Amino acid sequence: MSHHRFQAHWYGALLGGLGMLCSLGASAEDLPHKSMRLWLDPASASLRGELELSPAPASGEVALLAGLEITLDEHDGQHRIIHWQGQLSPAAQQRGLRLEEAGSFLPANAGWYPSLLDAPFSLSLTLELPPEQRGVASGSLVSDDSDADATREHYQHPRSDSIEVAAGPWQLREHTVGDVRLRTLFPSALDDAFADTYLHHAANHLSLFEARLGDYPFASFTIAATPAPVGLAFPGFTLLGERVIPLPFIPHTSLAHELMHAWWGTGVRLERGAGNWSEALTTYLADYHLDELRGDTYDTRSRWLTDLATLPAAGERPLIAFRGDRDPAARLIGYQHGAMVLHMLRQRIGDDAFDRALRELADTHMFHSAGWDDLQAAFEAAAGTSLDDFFSAWLRQPGRPRIVLEDVQRTPRDDRWRLEVTLRQEADGATWPLKLPLVIATRDAEVHRSISLEAPRKRIRIDLAERPLALQIDPHLDVLRELDAPPATLRALLLAGDVEVLAASPGSESLALQLLGQRPGVAHQHDATPLTLLVGLSDDVHDWLDERAVSVPPEVGQRSAARMWHHPERPLVILSADSPRGLGQLAAALRHQGQHSYVVQDADGATLDNGRWPRERSLVWRFDD
């Protein structure tokens, strides 16, 4: 390749990029600047880079991965210039790096480039690849071009603290929404089948989110495929697994979630050591908001509360302790629990104040870090009142309260009626500032009240014009609380500390152990009611259940090739299929089907039916007449 020609492209991109930095809202602060040129050759797992830091300290040790070496390190008093090159060793794969023809990923601060600066910096990055490859990098795509020798792409970021790069044998499709370039980078087969779908949904999500939050903070958004089964957000792009992209729900759900991270997580970044608020906010503003538009919010909140009910006591922790763990129990806290906290906050301060706070947070902290304290300050400013009681309890106390309704009485008083109710919250000694919706049914109407419950126990008195017939607390599940009788779901298997494995068929035990990552028959150390996993071929499982008079719900009794369910009345999860292949397909689906009580599949692993057992309505009182 021609090094001289590459320099011409790089300097042109740098001059054009300076204007782009300003248009993207770069702050007036005097940041160090990193100008990087990076050549990747995935076929040989080799790279070459040139980095200029200005201003930069004359000293500072440069640590690179094994196989990479510094070829130039100069300092002229104002600029430090470092050149490096080499081939990534197989050991680099253990640090999450990939540099190969099928797909490459170079994560932040992983030793593939000289980091040197811990402080934020402005970034100009030029990436050059073989002509059959395309790439994506942190920040906004300023320009790109290609010829017979190479593909070149130029990126800018006004205030960054990391650099990520990905590449692959991708086909490019793009669409423009306003000033934002939307791109897909997929392998040919995925490009033909799914690229237009992803661009269409990305455009819709982008317009929706900008209307609520203000301008998207980058000039481009790229959806790139990767061999790894992931969904990851980075500044200006997302990586989705090649096996994830074909899943029919991803454009409607996960894509929106990753795009929302451009505001929360990669735009407004997390303050180190201050907790991860971005997953809760992203879940609520992307996943939940789309459910709002579809009218599915009750089902969403019911699913979240049901999921949280499966948490073992050992998995409980305060929301502020969530750091972005991959542990399933921790994720329930950071995502579902956190999103419900934000839902209650919105109910408390109102939609207008809630959205004003979001815009203010984005405007004042874009490309800077923020912690939960900054979120609290933004919501307090928008609401015009202190929210310390709310944030102190819901961020720092583990668990959720259980609401108890008792001692309900009605009394005629002249031409009116008095309703008296005692409400209690049970939470292992903690108390929570609760706003409980109360709905009272009379012969001709419903009466709605909001009840404050900030003590362990409170007696409520309400005067009514008509005789009350029934009442219900929190009928729409707007309050983060423990459900009284949550339906049993498959997620319990993913979270259980101890599981006893029963193999109904020869060879099925190994599948169960692989699924659980543990040995069978372990001691039940944590769970008061240990969970049993029964795995086997259909006839063997049928015989086992029949011998013990264990009923089979009609939802899974229908003729099918495979089915798994959490028994509605027993601590028993069952995986049953007509073939070993069917059992494997069930096990592979478990991670995505944990919210359900049962799943029924055909011989190819396609879902025929799924759902949750009916949930008993709690916190309901009906008078006899």
Q: Tell me the domain boundaries of the chain.
A: 3-169, 269-396, 402-483, 491-611
Contact 64, 112 (CB under 8 A): yes
Per-residue pLDDT for 60 more than 80?
no
CATH code 3.30.530 for 491-611: no
Do the domains spanning 3-169 and 269-396 agree at the CATH topology level? Answer: no
Strand pairing category for 33-41 and 121-129: parallel
Its CATH architecture, for the domain 3-169, is: Sandwich (2.60)
30 Cβ neighbours under 8 A, 6+ residues apart: none
Mean pLDDT value of segment 67-72: 94
Q: Which CATH class is domain 269-396?
A: mainly alpha
**Integer angstrom CA distances of residue 69 from 66, 166, 240, 442:** 8, 21, 32, 80
- Better-predicted residue by pLDDT, 95 or 328: 328
Given a cut of 70, whether residue 28 has pLDDT beyond it is: no
Q: What is the pLDDT of residues 162-217, one digit of tens each?
A: 999 999 999 999 999 999 999 999 999 999 999 999 999 999 999 999 999 999 99
Q: What is the 3-state secondary structure (H, E, C) of 145-193?
A: EECCCCEEEEEEEEEECCCCEEEECCEEEEEEECCEEEEEEECHHHHHH
- For 438-480, write each residue's pLDDT tens digit: 999 999 999 999 999 999 999 999 999 999 999 999 999 999 9
Check pLDDT > 90 for residue 1. no
- Could you tell me the strand order of the sheet in which 220-226 lies? 171-177, 180-186, 220-226, 237-241, 231-234
Cross-strand partners of 416: 413
State the average pLDDT over residues 485-514: 88
Is residue 25 scored above 80 in pLDDT? Answer: no
Residue 9 has pLDDT above 70, yes or no: no
Residue 401 token pair: 């309260």
Highest mean pLDDT among 58-67, 164-173, 308-317: 164-173
Mean pLDDT of 576-585: 93
Q: What's the pTM?
A: 0.90
Cβ atoms within 10 A of the Cβ of 413, count?
10
CA distances for 241 relative to 235, 246, 252, angstroms: 18, 9, 16
Q: What CA dihedral angle connects 393, 367, 53 and 65, to 10 degrees? A: 60
More confident call, 614 vs 220: 220
366-422 confidence digits (pLDDT tens): 999 999 999 999 999 999 999 999 999 999 999 999 999 999 999 999 899 999 999
Q: Once rounded to an integer, what is the mean pLDDT over residues 564-580?
A: 94
Q: Which of 290-299, 477-486, 554-563 has the lowest mean pLDDT?
A: 554-563
CB 315 within 8 Å of CB 297 = no
For the chain, what is the mean pLDDT? Answer: 90
State how far the Cα of 185 lies from the Cα of 204, in Å rounded to an integer: 19
pLDDT beyond 80 at 129: yes
The C-alpha atoms of residue 470 and residue 192 are separated, in whole angstroms, by: 57
Lowest mean pLDDT among 10-14, 115-119, 371-375: 10-14
Give me 138's structure tokens: 């942190």
> Do residues 421 and 460 lie in contact, with contact meaning Cβ atoms separated by under 8 Å?
yes
Distance CA 30, CA 141 (A): 23
Answer whether residue 99 shows pLDDT above 90: yes
The pLDDT assigned to 149 comes to 93
Element (H or E) spanning 410, and its range? strand 402-413
pLDDT exceeds cutoff 70 at 521: no
Q: Per-residue pLDDT for 501 more than 80?
A: yes
Q: Which CATH architecture has domain 402-483?
A: Sandwich (2.60)
148, pLDDT greater than 70: yes
Task: Tell me the average pLDDT across 490-510.
Answer: 88
Q: Tens digit of pLDDT for each residue in 545-565?
A: 999 999 999 999 877 899 999
Q: Please state the rounded mean pLDDT for residues 17-28.
A: 46
Mean pLDDT on 267-276: 94
Candidates 398, 462, 382, 472; CA nearest to 432 is: 398
For residue 249, what are the contacts with CB-CB under 8 A and spacing of at least 6? none
Is residue 560 a contact partner of residue 600, using CB atoms and an 8 Å limit?
yes
Least confident range from 19-23, 140-144, 165-169, 304-308: namely: 19-23
Among the listed ranges 64-68, 254-258, 477-481, which one has the minimum average pLDDT value?
A: 64-68
Q: Is 532 helix (H, G, I), strand (E, B) or coil?
A: strand
pLDDT at 528 over 60: no
